């Protein structure tokens, strides 16, 4: 029975990239089942080493902070909808290490499913761009390309957040053609082009940052570094000359950042800035544990959280389901106690990347390129200065924890740790 549970768990994990395309329900169901099977397996085998790591302790302390924040909220049951079952992402993280250790062919199978997912999205996305309709009949009106994501319009975000992960697995692939720098560059350019024409501005910003880090940390040859940057620049100029893309990415961005009838500048847009200022005000009023997970959407309606609109000299309520910035959201909903661990985590990830960049300039290497790409994925996921999804959203949480789990496993797996270091 245990053998079949392991196979089923492994199959579910390999399916995650495809299930993420279908939406939050099936992907969340899969990681929940993976977590349950993980618990059953470690109990059956009496092997509790997987839950004795430092991360387990850190995560469940963090989980406890969310529970306390919910208990201190004005609507405990409503807040519990986000916090009570958040532990499933911790189990998912731990299960990743278990799955990889118990499946010798993990890398090749997971890469196959991941590559298939990207291939389907790439073909469907470009088909929709040139024909106005994708394979499922979703229409592209020239504004934002959605592909198989339909009305959710998160094709660009999916691609950029999983791009470093698929590149990491391509690098450790045994096939010389696909683990070469030439293929990695070609693949990145194709995916990057689709991200550009998706029209998702935050995904494009993340891709631009990825290009810099990919050039500094992953590409070995100086000639290929320059070639990659030159090709990327030429394609960008060509795409920005297209009317719809230019309107969306440049003209609309300028309009949202600057008021037409004044010289006032906004952070991203008036709405984004208003939501962030509301979050800060909310966090200051509830400094330690915030107003509770999922409670921003309720509390933002309160008069005490209204923001002074300088151009209108009035108080304005800025409300949404979340503040569209995970740091602002955690400060508002979990207070300084919930925000501080994420800030510390991001500082650690950033310092590791900066250290590796400096070492590589001096001809030294500590982390493999596989590990560097996973660090890049984590860095992009938690970048503070771009709009983001709801921190407690199950779809994005799976994407958050996937590279973290893979990176943790690489620190325990000497074969992967040493692979493609040079």
Within 23-53, residue ranges assigned H as helices are 24-44
Q: Which residues contact 142 (CB under 8 A, 6 or more apart)?
A: 244
Per-residue pLDDT at 239 = 78
Judge whether residue 415 has pLDDT over 70: no
With a CB cutoff of 8 Å and minimum separation 6, the contacts of 210 are 160, 163, 164, 188, 376, 380
pLDDT tens for 273-314 read 888 999 999 999 999 999 999 999 999 888 888 887 655 567
Mean pLDDT of 223-237: 89
Under 8 Å between Cβ of 337 and 289: yes
Which element (helix H / strand E) includes 315? strand 314-316
What mean pLDDT do residues 222-236 have? 89
412 Cβ neighbours under 8 A, 6+ residues apart: 97
Half-sphere exposure of 31 (CA within 13 A, CB side): 30
DSSP 136-160: T--B--SS---GGGGGG--HHHHHH
**Secondary structure letter of residue 319 according to DSSP:** -
Integer CA distances (angstroms), 379 to 227, 276, 386, 402, in order? 25, 21, 12, 13
- Report residue 106 as tokens: 């993990």
Residue in 356, 381, 355, 378 with CA at minimum distance from that of residue 368: 356
Q: Name residue 308's beta-bridge partners.
A: 315
3-class SS of residue 258: strand
Report the C-alpha gap between 390 and 377 in whole angstroms: 18
Q: What is the DSSP letter of 50?
A: G
Could you give the CA distance from residue 56 to residue 247 in angstroms, rounded to a whole number? 47
Q: What is the pLDDT of residue 421?
A: 45
Most confident residue range from 107-116, 262-271, 355-364: 107-116
What is the pLDDT at residue 248? 61
Q: Cα-flanking dihedrals φ and ψ of residue 175, to 5°? A: -85, 120
How far apart are alpha carbons 60 and 81 in whole angstroms? 17
Predicted confidence at residue 405, as pLDDT, reads: 93
Residues 57-88: tens digit of each pLDDT: 899 999 999 999 999 999 999 999 999 999 99
Query: What pLDDT, on the 0 to 100 scale, is given for residue 328?
Result: 95
Give the three-state DSSP class for 132.
Answer: coil
Give pLDDT, residue 376: 97
Lowest mean pLDDT among 26-30, 186-190, 346-350, 407-411: 407-411
Q: What is the DSSP letter of 262?
A: S
Alpha carbons 352 and 356: distance in angstroms, whole number: 6
Tell me the mean pLDDT in the region 245-272.
Answer: 62
Residue (of 309, 332, 307) closest to 317 by Cα position: 307
Burial class (CB in 10 A: 0-12, 13-18, 19+), 415: exposed
Q: Is the pLDDT of residue 39 over 70?
A: yes
Is 262's pLDDT higher than 70?
no
The answer to whether residue 45 scores a pLDDT higher than 90 is: no
């Amino acid at each position: 029975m245990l053998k079949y549970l392991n196979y089923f768990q492994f199959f579910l994990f390999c399916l995650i990239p495809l299930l993420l395309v279908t939406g939050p329900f099936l992907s969340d169901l899969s990681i929940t089942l993976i977590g349950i099977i993980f618990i059953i397996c470690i109990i059956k085998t009496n092997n509790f080493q997987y839950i004795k790591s430092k991360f387990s302790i850190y995560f469940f302390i963090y989980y406890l902070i969310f529970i306390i924040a919910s208990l201190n909220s004005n609507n405990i049951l409503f807040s519990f909808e986000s916090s009570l079952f958040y532990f499933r992402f911790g189990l998912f993280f731990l299960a990743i290490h278990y799955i990889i250790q118990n499946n010798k062919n993990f890398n090749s199978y997971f890469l196959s499913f991941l590559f298939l997912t990207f291939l389907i999205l790439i073909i469907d996305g470009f088909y929709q761009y040139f024909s106005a309709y994708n394979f499922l009949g979703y229409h592209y009106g020239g504004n934002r390309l959605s592909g198989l994501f339909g009305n959710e319009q998160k094709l660009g975000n999916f691609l950029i957040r999983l791009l470093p992960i698929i590149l990491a697995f391509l690098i450790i692939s045994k096939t010389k053609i696909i683990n070469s720098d030439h293929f990695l560059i070609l693949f990145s350019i194709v995916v990057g082009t689709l991200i550009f024409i998706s029209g998702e501005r935050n995904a494009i910003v993340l891709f631009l940052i990825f290009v810099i880090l990919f050039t500094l940390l992953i590409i070995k040859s100086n000639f290929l570094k320059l070639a990659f940057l030159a090709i990327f620049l030429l394609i960008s100029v060509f795409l920005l000359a297209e009317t719809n893309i230019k309107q969306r990415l440049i003209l609309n961005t300028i309009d949202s950042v600057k008021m037409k009838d004044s010289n006032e500048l906004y952070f991203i847009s008036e709405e984004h800035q208003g939501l962030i200022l509301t979050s800060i005000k909310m966090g200051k009023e509830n400094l330690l544990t915030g107003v509770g997970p999922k409670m921003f959407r309720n509390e933002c309606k309160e008069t005490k959280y209204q923001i002074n609109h300088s151009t209108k000299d009035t108080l304005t309520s800025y409300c949404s389901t979340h503040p569209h910035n995970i740091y602002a959201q955690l400060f508002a909903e979990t207070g300084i106690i919930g925000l501080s661990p994420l800030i510390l985590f991001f500082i650690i990830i950033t310092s590791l990347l900066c250290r590796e960049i400096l070492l590589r300039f001096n001809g030294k290497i500590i982390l493999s390129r596989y590990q560097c790409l996973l660090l890049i994925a984590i860095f992009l996921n938690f970048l503070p200065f771009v709009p983001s999804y709801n921190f407690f959203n199950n779809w994005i949480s799976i994407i958050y924890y996937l590279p973290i789990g893979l990176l943790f496993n690489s620190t325990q797996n000497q074969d992967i740790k040493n692979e493609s270091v040079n």
